[in-house]
Amino acid sequence: MQYTNEELKQKIDELKSKLDVTVVAHFYQRDEVFDIGDITGDSLELAIRTRDDDSKFVLFCGVAFMGQSVKVLSPHKRVVMPKLACCAMAKMIDGIYFDESIAFMEKHGISKENILPITYINSNADVKAKVGELGGLVCTSSNAKHIIADALKVGKKILFVPDRCLGQNIANQMGLKSMVIGEEGNPNDVDIICYDGFCSVHQLFTLDDIAFYRKKFPGILIAVHPECDPSICDASDFVGSTSQLIQYIQALPAEQKVAVGTEFNMVNRLRPTNTYVLSSTKPECPTMNETTLEDVYVTLKAIDDGAPINEIFVDEKTQKWAKIALERMLAL
């Protein structure tokens, strides 16, 4: 039987009040899914607030690495996801590619002891575990600059995975030298060696889009996420994580126009007027958009029926080292 969104919302509310469950939703979720979240936010906020929540079940509306991070930080919790959607960037690296990146640095005479790996939270638990085992840690787009600044104090070469853009953008902001594996350069001559992963959604924004808006609305501000290409970040007025973008845009005077370079769902609900999507192609994250209200209902119903579906499990060794990598970040 097909339910309307209103009917689904009502059924979801009934189940939520009956079950020991917290519904978590990332800012990029569809509006109707975002609206039923008990905890909403960017990936850093979700990691912290969900860890501190004491419900038995966490129903996570986002992409797989996010639900996995909750399970890694709180193995006693039962984490279910309405859709096991995998972030395209997180898929670009696994344990084998990580090992190959370390081998690339070793080939240039940099020993494992002299490498400090940092993984963006947009990576699967096996990569986080490899990073943890090598003494490294996790970062998110909100705290990457802080984490890298702290890591530099140790005097090691930083291997940053998987997002080349975030690594390069932070290096540029801090006046550091960076290179991307597979592109020209010697890792000995730079501070940060970036893996060559990227987010296809954030690659949609172009310099032509920025030129178009600056010409159409003189005085407009351009605000983008650091997963955008460095050329886009350099040409923008503000670069920040999803929460930082929200804070920046909501503090603008109502008449100030702004074009925003990040996922469509979030930009669309940011501000009633004078806010534009910085792309002629709708920048929707396909995997974030997979989760529907019906999926949430079906997943809650399965908990109620005593047969949870799409539950996240992480093996013990991966859990141990991935937790260490995540906790090193949270400790900072």
List residues binding ligand 13P (CB under 6 A): 42-43, 122, 140-141, 199, 227, 241-242
Q: Which stretch binds ligand SF4 (CB under 6 A): 81-89, 146-154, 295-303, 309-317?
A: 81-89
Taking CB within 5 to 8 Å according to partner kind, which of ligand 13P, ligand SF4, none is near residue 141? ligand 13P
* Rounded Cα distance, 239 and 165, in Å: 12
User: Residue 119's beta-bridge partner residues?
Assistant: 138, 161
> Residues 6 or more apart from 3 whose CB is under 8 A from it?
11, 294, 297
Residue with tokens 């600044």: 149
Shortest separation between residue 163's beta carbon and ligand 13P, angstroms: 9
57 vs 205 by CB, closer to ligand SF4: 205
Instruction: By CB under 6 A, name the one of 61, 63, 116, 303 that touches ligand SF4.
Output: 63
Q: How many Å is the Cα radius of gyration of the chain?
A: 20
Instruction: By CB under 6 A, name the one of 23, 39, 80, 87 that touches ligand SF4.
Output: 87
* Rounded Cα distance, 67 and 145, in Å: 24
Shortest separation between residue 85's beta carbon and ligand SF4, angstroms: 8
198 vs 220 by CB, closer to ligand SF4: 198
220 vs 285 by CB, closer to ligand SF4: 285
* Rounded Cα distance, 25 and 17, in Å: 17
Q: Which stretch binds ligand SF4 (CB under 6 A): 10-18, 82-90, 125-133, 144-152?
A: 82-90
245 vs 300 by CB, closer to ligand 13P: 245
Shortest separation between residue 316's beta carbon and ligand SF4, angstroms: 27
Number of residues near ligand SF4 (by CB under 6 A): 12
Contact 140, 121 (CB under 8 A): yes
b/e code 21-37 from CB counts within 10 Å (16+ = b)? bbbbbbbbbbeebbebb
* Rounded Cα distance, 325 and 151, in Å: 13
Shortest separation between residue 45's beta carbon and ligand 13P, angstroms: 8
Instruction: By CB under 6 A, name the one of 119, 122, 124, 140 that touches ligand SF4.
Output: 122
List alpha helices for 78-196, DSSP H. Answer: 95-107, 125-133, 144-152, 164-173
* Rounded Cα distance, 330 and 138, in Å: 9
21 vs 246 by CB, closer to ligand 13P: 246
* Rounded Cα distance, 2 and 88, in Å: 30
Q: By rule CB under 6 A, what string of x and - marks binding of each residue 270-289 to ligand SF4?
A: ---------------x-xx-
> Residues 6 or more apart from 317 whose CB is under 8 A from it?
129
88 is a site residue for ligand SF4 (CB under 6 A) = yes
For residues 181-200, which are near ligand SF4 according to CB under 6 A?
Answer: 199
Phi, psi of 28 (to 5 degrees): -85, 0
Instruction: By CB under 6 A, name the one of 42, 126, 229, 263 that touches ligand SF4.
Output: 263
266 is a site residue for ligand SF4 (CB under 6 A) = no
Candidates 242, 308, 262, 309; CA nearest to 84 is 309
201 is a site residue for ligand SF4 (CB under 6 A) = yes
Site for ligand SF4, rule CB under 6 A: 63, 87-89, 122, 199, 201, 227, 263, 285, 287-288
